[in-house]
């Protein structure tokens, strides 16, 4: 038995090493399965980041509308759209006051 082991020593060591590297390639902390799990987590985090950046941009835009200088034309457009104020074939005249 010992003679057979000594005779096939190189074969046994090479089989052991191949199996060891194969299992570590598939499983383990940095294996193939772990790679795919981490890739899914990365994709979901990127989607969350895009959603959060969109929310931040939306909030920054809304915050910019809260300034002291109002765009009255934009406010009028919003009122007409939201409250259906005005008629369809309506003509709008803008009168500017000259404050000298």
Angle at 38 (CA atoms; ends 34, 42), nearest 5 degrees:
170
pLDDT for 71 beyond 80: no
pLDDT value, residue 49: 96
For range 73-88, the mean pLDDT: 76
Per-residue pLDDT reduced to its tens digit, 7-64: 788 888 899 999 988 888 888 788 888 899 999 999 999 999 999 999 999 998 888 7
| The pLDDT of residue 100 | 58
What does the alpha-carbon distance between residue 53 and residue 32 come to, in Å, rounded to a whole number? 31
Query: What is the reported pLDDT for 45?
Result: 96
């Amino acid at each position: 038995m010992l003679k057979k082991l000594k005779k096939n020593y190189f074969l046994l060591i090479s089989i052991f090493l191949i199996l060891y590297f194969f299992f570590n390639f598939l499983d383990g902390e940095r294996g193939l399965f772990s790679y795919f799990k981490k890739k899914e987590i990365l994709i979901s985090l990127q989607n969350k980041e895009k959603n959060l950046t969109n929310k931040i941009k939306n909030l920054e835009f809304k915050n910019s509308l809260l300034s002291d200088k109002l765009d009255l034309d934009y406010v009028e457009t919003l009122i007409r759209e939201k409250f259906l104020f005005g008629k369809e074939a309506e003509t709008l005249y803008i009168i500017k006051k000259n404050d000298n």
